[in-house]
Each structure stands twice: as C-alpha cells, then as structure tokens.
Structure 1
C-alpha cells in the first residue's frame, strides 16, 4: 500500500475543496496548511494514521505548518491557489479514508484563511507546542490531547468555535449546541455553508 505524503494530501485538498454557497473559495497557502493539519489530525484520531507518511507539523506563529507543504506552496504567498495550477495527486486510499478527508473539508473548509488560523490557535496541540518552543507538534499530542478527546463518540460533540461562531450559541458562557456524532456535525456544516449537488 502506497502511503499519502504531505504534498499529495495538499494537492488532494486543492482539487477536492467543496464549493461554498457564497461562491467565494479562499484557498490560500495559510488555509491549505491548516486544512492539511486537520485532515491529518482527525485521520489519526479515527485510526487511519497508517495511510500517511512523513507528516510533521511545526508550531509556527500563524499555526501548524508542514515544511514540505510550505516548500511546495510558498510562492503563492497570500494569493488563492487554483485547481488548474496544481497537478492532481496520484494516490489511492480506501473509500472510508477519502470520505473522512472530505468530511474534514466540509467541516473546516468554510473558514476564511484567518479564521482557520484563529481556530488552530485555540487548540491545545499548537498552543502547548508553541508556548514551549517545541520544534514539532507531537503526533501523540495531536491524537490524545485534542482530536481523540474532541471527537469522542460517547459524548456530545461541540463544533469548532469559528465554524459556527459559537459565541452566539452560549448561555452564561457555556456552549448550548452539541452534536451526537462527528458525522452529524459535518452534515450541519455542509448544509449551512456548501452547495449541494
């Protein structure tokens, strides 16, 4: 089985990011880095880590960054990355892995580049690594400290704060919205933000 590397995942994201209802798809290098981070982290938490290789995310000032993805896309700066400028990746993974990656894009893909950056700054893996001056965000920390706990099936799941602007869903500072499953959370985001076919 051929594994997915960071460059292939980033190219896959460019070609598979769903179209927003607004028709405005801001896919900058900053946003691409964060989408790759969430795809990888949630895949680890859901038990699909064996399909990925050579992933290391560093805690940079503007959130988690894969140096490999950075080297490929740095020339774009803050400009949008268009599908027709990027070659399609050549890898095959089981349908359930690709389905999960697409769900991650539906969940986080509605965020602007700056909001997805802000979202990553709220979360323990980046905050802890950045504040301690660590070279990389440890895979076990990505899985155990955040994504596995966050998307546990045995408790109500709260959406990422910036996806649904959860500050407007709080009563006395306590979030009032929860979802039964990761899938229900994704379907809600998909229905609100993305064009359905």
Structure 2
C-alpha cells in the first residue's frame, strides 16, 4: 500500500494482521479510545484460517491476491499516533503474526467456525 510520503508495500494478508494488532495495542496502551477506533473501524474482525480479518477491508483489496497493494491511500491525521506501532508490526513476518493471532481469544472461541 502506498501511503503518504512513505512507500511501504503491504499485502492484504499483512494489512489484516497489522490492522488487528495495531488496533489492539492502541486500545491496550490507550493511544486511542474505543469510540475513536469504532468511528472508522466499526466492523468486527472475523476468525479466518490465517487469523483475524476485517471483511470490508479484505474485500476492498482482495483483487491484489498475495501481491502488494499498489494503490495510493491517504493518511488520516487522527491516527498518526499509531504510525510507530504500525511500522513495528510491518517489520514482523506476517506468518509470525498469524501464529500469534491463533493464540488470541477471538481465534480459540471461533476456531470451529473458520472462514476462508
């Protein structure tokens, strides 16, 4: 995903995991409150085979398959506080994040109903 002045290539799989863990950390560290996050991300994450997925965002970028998302997006200044967290998760292997996501309560409670 080409983002602002910094071009960072991100796949849809990676985007989903980074989004999940960034929002979780934002809540845990009180970087943003729940209502600020819900204003933009008001859909629940679903338990999919490769970890949590926000379906609307997945649908928007699924045309890229496993390739990096190449469309340019705009940065929401309200979420700039999350940039360091986002880049921290972008440095991690997406499959490591998948493994970690499988330890989450969301996964264990819904593992028998996996999508995808």
Instruction: Tell me the TM-score range normalised by the shorter chain.
Output: 0.7 to 0.9
Structure 1 gap ranges (5+): 1-10, 20-24, 136-197
Is 1:102 matched up with 2:102? no
The alpha carbon displacement at 1:26 in A equals 5.3
Question: Which of 14, 32, 36 is equivalent to 1:31?
Answer: 14
- Greater percentage in strand: 2
Instruction: Give CA deviations for 1:115-159 in whole Å, capped at 9, x if unaligned.
Output: 3222322x2234323335389xxxxxxxxxxxxxxxxxxxxxxxx
Instruction: Give CA deviations for 1:47-76 in whole Å, capped at 9, x if unaligned.
Output: 322212213100001100001101110101
Give the corresponding residue for 1:52.
37
User: Structure 2 CA distance, aligned partners of 1:87 and 1:110?
Assistant: 20
User: Structure 1 CA distance, aligned partners of 2:100 and 2:34?
Assistant: 23
Structure 2 gap ranges (5+): none
Query: Which has the bigger relative contact order, CA under 8 A and spacing at least 6?
Result: 2
TM-score by length of 2: 0.74
Where 2:3 maps in the other structure, the secondary structure is helix
Q: What is the RMSD of the two structures over their aligned residues, measured on CA atoms?
A: 2.7
Give the corresponding residue for 1:114.
95
